[in-house]
A and B are shown apart, each in its own frame.
Chain A
Amino acid sequence: MALGAGDTIVALSSGRPPAAIAVVRTSGPRASALAQQVAGSLPPARQATLRRLIDPTDGNIIDDALVIRFAGPHSATGEDVVEYQCHGGRATVDALIAVLVRESGVRLAEPGEFTRRALANGRLDLTEAEGLADLLAAETDLQRRSAMVRAGGGLRVRLDRWREQLLSLSARAEVAIDYADEEDGSLDNDLSGALGDLSTEIRMLAESPRVEPLRDGIRVVLAGPPNAGKSSLLNALVQAERAIVTPIAGTTRDVIEVPVSISGIPFVLVDTAGLHESDDEVEAIGIARARQETSSADILLWLGAAEATPVHERLIVLLPKSDIPRDEASNHALPVSSHTGQGIPELSTKLVGLALKLLPRKDEIALVRRERDLLAEASDALARAASLTDPVLVAEELRVARTAIDRIAGRAGVEDLLDTLFGRFCLGK
């Protein structure tokens, strides 16, 4: 989470897609150059200009968007800022952000980083920031406490134990360095077993359920060839005419997301364009997005041929249009018919069953992404340490792991604090 101040940062600064319009904001020294690459030429400052956004690496069209450029220091952050107002589908937004952050020196903004840059560059009224700070300081503390008391203090107990273990492993590595000439300095230099075990243990928590699915809904992506009946199935599941359902292959050109609650569990059903090669340019973009959606699915519903089934951790293979008689039958596929409603209750049950595995149980620790990332960082450092022999490098990796664990508990320095503090500001404000 260390921030290089010279980086150009990117974030979605409007609400969570899908929405009619999404605003993606970039700020930093590379912002203008990026706009030139993606939008073809640099629009005049402070004028909303319609541009076709193109992925510079393959020439694919991302979207048509309004591009507005603010030259620093007269911008919200005091740096060069470029805003892209594009269509608000998740796939469009994701594609644009993916293209932007691919450039070197460009990365996703940390929470609140725009605000922080504004403050650093004197663009934010300090009295205003201070007014917010009282509130924020309280909130930060509350958030920290809430993280600590989550699941009856289960997280804190584990973090404290790991911290102890890390300190004791560090001590064993350090003694070999600072007391090399003494007996104790030459004792048990082989920490790799203990390091590996701890890495695995931390990894297991890092891979435990996230809070986000609970908050944002579990993403169920319907995928399959054109006209496989994805939109009809989606409609049957929502029991509402949300997607355009026509018998012409290739109607759903963009990705459609529909939030729905099944047995009280929040889902987001995602209808993708049919997966096949297409000459139609717009549809081609839709297909590219569909592939992307498939990979980001929490649960994947496959409506295509059994032999073309994609690999996915949580996959339900369906035999759609089961009301239409046909020759081949799959043993594993669940027959469903949007028309007759056959198989829909079974599908719902299956979805709920898979969802329950994704969501935290009542007594289980749920982590936000930041915590998971830090745990993964600690686990990675320990895994590396386990493979090293130079005690100095082992100790260094242990230090990295310790710092990561400390950051979760809010024990670390001002930077981390400010990340948390400013993280309370709305992203991209």
Chain B
Amino acid sequence: MFDVLVIGGGHAGCEAACAAARRGARTVLVTYRSDDLGQMSCNPSIGGVGKGHLVREVDAMGGIMAIAADRAAIHRRMLNASKGSAVRGPRVQADRRAYRLAIQSLVAASGVEVMEGEVSSLRFSGTGVDGVELSDGLFVSARTVIVTTGTFLAATMFRGDERWAGGRQGSNAANRLGAQVRELGLAQGRLKTGTPPRLDGRTIDWAATQPQPSDGVAWNMALAGNDAPLPQLACAITRTNVRSHEVIRRGLESSPLFSGSIEGRGPRYCPSIEDKVHRFGERDGHQVFLEPEGINDHLVYPNGISTSLARDVQQDLVRSIVGLERAEIVQFGYAVEYEFADPRRLDASLQHRDVPGLYFAGQINGTTGYEEASAQGLVAGLNAAAESIGLVAAHFDRGESYIGVMVDDLTLQGVTEPYRMLTARSEYRLYLRADNAVTRLGPMAIELGTLRGPQETLVRSHLEGKAKASAALAQLVSGEQLGVADKARKPLFEWVRRDDLMDSVRSMLPSSPAVDEAIDDAVYAPYLHRQRVELAVRQRDRETAIPGDFDFASVPGMSTEMQERFIAASPADLDQASRIAGVTPAALSALHFALARRAA
């Protein structure tokens, strides 16, 4: 009997299993091939704006993604480096093989048992889940089960006129499990995603492209740092042109996207190249980022030309691009249409509301991206462990973390297109920074005991450093001490808001990440104050809980349409209820008083 059983060895599954193990749960991860753990099935990069924030948060909770990303990093880029620190997004290109090996060694070190096999069905006892059955007939019993099957549920792949079943190429589709998930009423609809053709880097004319070097400053994703960094490679930029677009337009008739074969909705923020050409017909070109997939790997990922056009069209398209005139395609691009489970049926721990012990994390919940998957895996893993061995649940608040923002968005609003983290999704963006993830989540990680020894030491020392830096910024200093004609004595955190005094203030303090973070706090302080007031207001609504068995249909004076909106979203409190799209003030007031009556 396992405490936690994880189905799937992708980014959500690995993170979930390790998180559960860190909390002391006896954990097993079931996957087709243990060799595939940590496989990056799409672009070889980790992080970015919003996504990088998630990676840092997962790291602050003791997760594995950031550590693996550092070990595999062959190119670093701090996005928005010239903008406010709140939106700086760390991103690395990872050596695909090194990343996979790093994840596998981290999983192995975590005490998670890895079992090879195909889960054919979930098994239930009473109202809850009690294990899974494998396709060879073996039954594995577990108190909790986390489903992280990504696009593997009833996935279909498309390329031109070609169709084939399967999620990632070369794997079996988990169709039996998919049927069961559908029977449970979890299936929501279909989404679509895609991937570009992979190129042989040796056939690219790099001199014709614009190089994009790695950042000069060696920063890390993980707080732990990395003592064996890989050599850094450059990426390169080229672009499509009018001729490429001609090729695409001519090839559209063979496109499953435009012939109506694919019904699922694709992400607006990550469209296929045929979509871009179709929607922005007036553009004479679109950027293509050439990203090396590894140090000892010739594969190059041309980010920006995701496509499901026929092979010959893909070939012509690639060859029309400057620098790629003689490029060889190693693997053609394709689109995947897959089923996802409605995340609105999950609670804030990603547990199914009606099936105790059953958790869902990752792309199956309608998200896209490794980072989003990993962060959900963390939430499900920490909470499944808590559920099965009787520990405190891990609750992530949207005012405290992007993890909280994502879980709240998913479980409350659901998804209509693949969900990707964007900083615009947070109302508290100036506080939820990549650089203060440890300050925001470290105390919770310590409290829940999710950190291993050395990691806990690092978190504690960062928290102490931050406290010291904040105290140093509180000291009163006259303007004259900072070199301006102002006798007034004010705390340094006020002076530092003046652009012209930033450098003088910095020079009075030691140089450390904790000091940088405290200075950012000071710079944003007036905004943070306003956001804290908003949060406090919201807090009161949050205290008005809506019981799980609350009958929205019994609320007097509420229209059927409003009842349906509430029932679909199953808000946990009045604050969530107020944020459901389309809900009217009248319906909310009716709800508010029905809750008050019930509480009385």
Q: How far is the CB of A293 from chain B (nearest CB, A)?
A: 34
**Bound Cα distance from A416 to B534, whole angstroms:** 11
B211-249: CB near A (< 8 Å → 1, else 0) gives 000000000000000000000000000000000000000
**Bound Cα distance from A4 to B537, whole angstroms:** 7
Q: How far is the CB of B88 from chain A (nearest CB, A)?
A: 9
Say yes or no: A390 contacts B83, CB within 8 Å. yes
Q: Is B195 an interface residue (CB 8 A)?
A: no
Q: How far is the CB of B459 from chain A (nearest CB, A)?
A: 26
Q: Is A413 an interface residue (CB 8 A)?
A: yes
Known: A2-B533, A4-B536, A415-B537. A180 touches B89 (CB 8 A): yes
Q: Is B588 an interface residue (CB 8 A)?
A: yes
Between A and B, 5 residue pairs with Cβ closer than 8 Å are A180-B80, A180-B89, A183-B286, A414-B577, A417-B592
Q: Which of these binds chain B: A131-139, A282-290, A341-349?
A: A131-139
Q: Is B287 an interface residue (CB 8 A)?
A: yes
Say yes or no: B538 contacts A180, CB within 8 Å. no
Say yes or no: B593 contacts A415, CB within 8 Å. no
| B586 CB contact (under 8 Å) in A137, A180, A415 | A137
Known: A141-B586, A174-B424, A413-B578. A392 touches B86 (CB 8 A): yes
**Bound Cα distance from A424 to B299, whole angstroms:** 67
Task: State how many residues of chain A have any CB contact under 8 Å with chain B.
Answer: 46
Q: Is B126 an interface residue (CB 8 A)?
A: no
The B contact surface, by secondary structure, is helix
- Chain A residues in contact with chain B, CB under 8 A? 2-5, 119-120, 126-127, 129-130, 133-134, 136-138, 140-141, 144, 170, 174, 176-183, 390-393, 395-396, 399-400, 410, 412-418, 420-421
Say yes or no: B49 contacts A420, CB within 8 Å. no
User: Which residue from chain B places its CB closest to the CB of A116 in the assembled complex?
Assistant: B540
| B423 CB contact (under 8 Å) in A120, A137, A177 | A177
Known: A390-B83, A391-B87, A396-B527. 7 other contacts (CB 8 A): A4-B533, A126-B596, A178-B424, A183-B286, A390-B84, A392-B430, A415-B538
**Bound Cα distance from A391 to B422, whole angstroms:** 15
B560-600: CB near A (< 8 Å → 1, else 0) gives 00000000000000110111000011101110110011011
B530-553: CB near A (< 8 Å → 1, else 0) gives 100110111011000000000000
Interface centre among A174, A410, A414 (most CB of B within 10 A): A414
Residues of B within 8 A of A393 (CB): 84, 527
| A414 CB contact (under 8 Å) in B86, B424, B574, B600 | B574
| B49 CB contact (under 8 Å) in A140, A177, A395 | A177
The A contact surface, by secondary structure, is helix
Say yes or no: A414 contacts B80, CB within 8 Å. no
Say yes or no: A395 contacts B596, CB within 8 Å. no
Say yes or no: A413 contacts B287, CB within 8 Å. no
Known: A133-B589, A392-B86, A413-B538. A181 touches B79 (CB 8 A): yes
Q: Is B427 an interface residue (CB 8 A)?
A: yes
B54-87: CB near A (< 8 Å → 1, else 0) gives 0000000000000000000000010110011011
Q: Is B510 an interface residue (CB 8 A)?
A: no
User: Which residue from chain B places its CB closest to the CB of A392 in the assembled complex?
Assistant: B84
Residues of A within 8 A of B588 (CB): 414, 417
Q: How far is the CB of A104 from chain B (nearest CB, A)?
A: 15
**Bound Cα distance from A5 to B593, whole angstroms:** 20
Residues of B within 8 A of A137 (CB): 557, 586, 589-590, 593
**Bound Cα distance from A130 to B597, whole angstroms:** 7
